[in-house]
Each structure stands twice: as C-alpha cells, then as structure tokens.
Chains A and B, each alone.
Chain A
Amino acid sequence: MHESGEVDFSVRQLTRVEGEGRLSLTVSGGEVTQARLEIFEAPRYFERLVVGRTPDEVIDIVARICGICPVAYQMSAVHAFERLFDVALDPEVRRLRRLFYCGEWIESHALHIYLLHAPDFLGYPSAVELAGDHPDVVQRGLRLKRLGNRIVAILGGRPIHPVSVRVGGFSRAPRRGELDELRQALPEAIADAQETVRWAASLEPPTYTREARLVALRHPDEYPMNDGRIVSSDGLDIDPPAWPDAFEERQVPWSNALQAVSHDGAPYLLGPSARVALAGDTLHPLAADALRATALGGELATNVFRSIVARSVELLHALAEAADIVEVYSEPAVHLAPWEPRAGVAAWATEAPRGLLFHRYEVGDDGLVQRAQIVPPTSQNQAAIEHDLRLFAPSVLELPHAEATHRLEQLIRSYDPCISCATHFLDLRVEGA
C-alpha cells in the first residue's frame, strides 16, 4: 500500500496464457482507479507481411500467427477471398472445412480447460502439480487434445500450421479410409468430453455476476464456425464484412495490441460463453443435453469464470459434429474449385476457439493483396477483460494480497487470451523518416 492509500495489484508476467503480458490494477479508497491488461509482447507485423502476396500465399502466412489456432486464421482468410472471387465450394469441402475447424476447437479447448484453467479451480499453481495428484484428469485432457491435433494433421498435412487450405477448397482431400482412425477414436473421445462437461460444471467459481454485451456469429442451421451473421445480445445483426460498421480498433499506450470496441467505446465479450448464449439452440444434441444437465444455463453468460463450462460444452459439440461428418464422409467430386482473382475488398469473420476473428484484405487488379486488417478475438476481448477487472476487483480487496492477485489473474485466464495472436497490429509510425 502506498502512503496515499493506493493499493497496487500487479502480475509482472501472466502465466498460463499464450504470450507475454502483465496485469496492473490500482485501487484507491476502495475504488478501482486503473485496470490494465498490459501486453508487452513485441508486435509481429503480419498485416504488413501479407502485402504483395497472392491469396493462397496469404492463407499460408496468416496460419503462422498462432500455433494454437492457425486453422482459424486460414478459415477467415480463405472465406474472405472466396466470397470476393465468387467461388462455389463442393458441399463435401464445406463439411471438411467444419471438420478441420472442429479439430482446432478440440485441441485448443482441451489445452485450455485441462492444462491452463483447471489448476485455478483446484488450487494448483500449474498443471504439473495437477498431473501429480489427478493423473486421470490430465490424461483425459491429453487424449482429447491429441485427437484434435490428429484431425488437423489428417486434413492439414500437419498438426501445427497446416498447409492444405487453398482458395477453392483443399490442395488434397483425404480418402475415406484415412478417416478410419478418427471413426474409431471419436466415440471414446465423446464420452471423455461428456465427463469433461460434468466435471467442469462441478468446479466452484468465484462469485461474480455482470451483464456483458455478447457478440458472436450465428447461423440458422449450424453452430457458428465458418459461416453466419454477426449478432449481439443487444440486437446487432450484420453480415460479417460489415464488422467495421459496428466496431473499431484503437491504440492504448499500455498495450502492443490494438483494442477493438464498439463505435460508442463500449467493450464486448466474444468466445465460448457468447456463442453458447447466442447460438446455443444450434448445439449438437449431445452437447445441448450435457449443457442442460449442468443446470447452469444463463450463468455461463454472466459469470466469466464459468467459461470453462461453455468451453467444455463446445468441446463436446466439436467432437460430436466431427463424428457425424466422418461417418457420412465421401471424397468430394471437386476438392479444389477453379477461381479467378478480381480486384476488390475481401472480408469475412469466422469463430476462432477464443471468439470472432475478422479479416479484411484489399486486392488489386493484379490479384495481390494491397492492404490487410486482421482483428483477432483477444484484441477484441481486451477491453472487456479490463472492464471485468474493474468490476470484480472490489470483491477481492479483503483477501490476502497474493490471493486477491491470483483471483484477478484467474479472471484474465477465463478469457483464454492469446496474446501472441493479438500483437500483430501496432500501427507503426516512424516520425521524421
């Protein structure tokens, strides 16, 4: 505590999040006067790296933004280009794209639920200690994660930074027999995921309730991944390319990542909790049943600590949908549809594991990208994280300092932030050059 009566809560290096950031929060007279998620990981300038590249090169480059959600970057980019170029996909290719995305959701959600988030609820500093006391729990998480990686590898050529996605489809579609191992493994994985939902729902969260503005894709016939319209809990309903009509990016001095907010400056929440709230009626029946059995319903949207349950429900959804796709799969008649580039704006959003991922590319007459904008979910959730820190912090002020700080860090982890993803977007200006 300072002589002024101010109390600082700071975590110099956030752990169990992807990338490098810190928490800084100042309380004075019982009021939170400053709440910052300070992202100091160096910017990586991917939006500049894709300039002058062909659409297919862009798809390969943006996959390198993240080692956990590369499929999301590929999907937002490829759908943006296909929409601009009026590419008609074979229906089986569309299903393969969803299977591909299911694989990424499975590996990403399993990683976060079991290895990054669960230790907070069970009182362990990390998954190492959790593995020692609850090896069965950690092994279940590893089994699920491995299967997700395997799906990505079968469709994408390798588990990290896959290489098969092309405008018009895939460079190669798997033969039906290549999915046999998935057909055999998925039933056990679905049982693991059902147990995951039950287990996650039993974890006691800190008491915290707030009404957040929720934003996600919504599609009338399927749980949102590649397709749909951007909707919100307060009535927004727009085509994905219209993202800039509703939201904007701003730079704040304490972060190397741009923050996205509504045009009125208000934060909004993306990710599993938002998707379950806005599109829960399109969950796979197995996932819907599991969610109903938790009896948590609306609490998933109002208590961010319950995001582990929403993530578990989506893990089950992704496995169940993957099993359905694999069961009926037949090789597409055309795995790579023909297309011709054209000048214009290519824009689309898909649902990365952490939430809405918006891409916008200006394509020139030569078919090369002239300008790019990539808005990942973590930079959109940053303002919501800081808003939640302000609201939640007063409830932990009476706790011992270390415990209070831990609770604040747990709140940030509830968002599953990927700081590495978020730091590509600094608007670099060299004065006097």
Chain B
Amino acid sequence: MRHVVLLACGEPMRGDDALALAVLDALPATTRAMVEIRPVGQLMPDDLHAIDGAVIVLDAVEGPPAGTVIDLPLSALSEAYDRGISPASSHALPLPVTLGIVERLPGGMPDGRFLGVAAADYTLGAPLSPSVQEAVPDCAARVNHWVRALVHEAKPSHVPD
C-alpha cells in the first residue's frame, strides 16, 4: 500500500474555513485509517516538500460560487490559481510562492489531489454556511475515492458521479 498524507487545512472556528474537518468527519472510519491525516492550518511549502508517497490537500476554496466542489490534480493547482481558484488557507506566503518553491526543490510537487469546497463566509464562531454544508457529502465522496485510488496506486481516469 502506498503512503498517503492528507493535509487538512483551515481554522475550525472561522465558519467555512472548517470545511476540511467537516469532510474528515464525513469519511468512513476505514478510509481515515488508510491515510496519515495532518492538520496543518495553512498550506506551507514545508507541508508539501519531501512527502514520502502521495498527498491530498483538503481546504476551503476561494473563487467559484459557494458550494462548488473542486477536485484537481495538485499539479494543476497553479493553473487553477491563475483562473481565480485558490485554497483559502494562506497567510504568510501567497499560493504561487508556496507551490513554486515546492516545484523547484528536489522531488518537486508530490503526486496527489487538491480537493475542497468554495466558501461563502469566514465569520469567527459561525458554523458552515448552508451551501458549503450541502456540498460536504459530495466532497467527502471524492476524498474517499482518491484516498483509495492513491493508496492502491491506481490512476483512475474519472471521478465518481
């Protein structure tokens, strides 16, 4: 079995920024047991660099209409950023810098996926907004699919309906 790291980004107290933890809660226990889950708060180069195996980055998303589920290869994240789609959890470094550093270091960008749901509200203390809450099961199904695919090193050509 291939080692798979799931980077759970976000701040659970800030409304839709709790998306990653909500999706993790919705995953079957058997799936959670197949991956190493790392709560990382915000996505930084040291989280992505030198990962032994594959990686799934799970985060709230900025850009698309709220509730939209995003499912991309990690290698396509830079291009997605140029189209206005970005993980929400960044503070110290802009996403292009985070990704650019990892891409240029030995080992490059690890194999894996970026998954998330477009957010609507980051109010401190607020629950997930309704559109994001509705999208959690779909996002969890995709995470479940990719965990199993990456663990078994399969290269599925499609995502689940």
Contacts and interface: CB of A to CB of B under 8 A. Distances in A.
B92 interface: yes
A374 B100 CA distance: 36
B11 A142 contact: no
Interface residues of A, number: 29
Residue picked from B14, B39, B44, B105, most chain A C-beta under 10 Å: B44
Interface residues of B, number: 23
Given A131-B100, A131-B101, A160 B92 contact: no
Contacts of B100: 126, 128, 131
A18 B101 contact: no
Contact of B101 (A64, A127, A146, A149): A127
Interface in B28-66: 39-42, 44-46, 49-50
Interface string B110-132: 00000000000000100000000
B93 interface: yes
Interface stretch (A132-140, A220-228, A267-275): A132-140
Residue of B92, B97, B104 ringed by the most chain A CB atoms within 10 A = B92
B11 A135 contact: no
A149 B104 contact: no
A67 interface: yes
Nearest to A149: B46
Nearest to A147: B46
Contacts of B50: 139, 142
Most A-side CB within 10 Å, residue of B97, B101, B104, B106: B101
B92 A67 contact: yes
A135 B44 contact: no
A127 B92 contact: no
B32 to A, nearest CB: 17
A159 B93 CA distance: 16
Interface string A100-119: 00000000000100011000
Nearest to B101: A131
Contacts of B91: 18, 66-68, 420
Given A67-B91, A161-B11, A132 B104 contact: yes
Contact of B97 (A18, A68, A128, A420): A128
Contacts of B96: 128
A149 B42 CA distance: 11
A64 B124 CA distance: 9
Interface in A271-311: none
B76 interface: no
Nearest to A160: B41
Contacts of A127: 93, 97, 101
B85 to A, nearest CB: 20
A159 B46 CA distance: 12
B92 A111 contact: yes
10 contacts: A18-B92, A61-B124, A64-B11, A64-B124, A126-B97, A128-B101, A131-B105, A132-B104, A146-B46, A158-B39
Given A116-B92, A138-B105, 18 more contacts: A67-B91, A68-B91, A68-B92, A115-B97, A128-B101, A131-B100, A131-B105, A132-B104, A142-B45, A142-B46, A142-B50, A146-B46, A159-B40, A159-B41, A160-B11, A160-B42, A161-B11, A161-B41
User: Which are the 9 A-B pairs with shortest beta-carbon distances?
Assistant: A160-B41, A128-B100, A67-B91, A142-B46, A132-B104, A131-B104, A146-B46, A131-B101, A158-B39
Interface of A: 18, 49, 60-61, 64, 66-68, 111, 115-116, 126-128, 131-132, 135, 138-139, 142-143, 145-146, 149, 158-161, 420
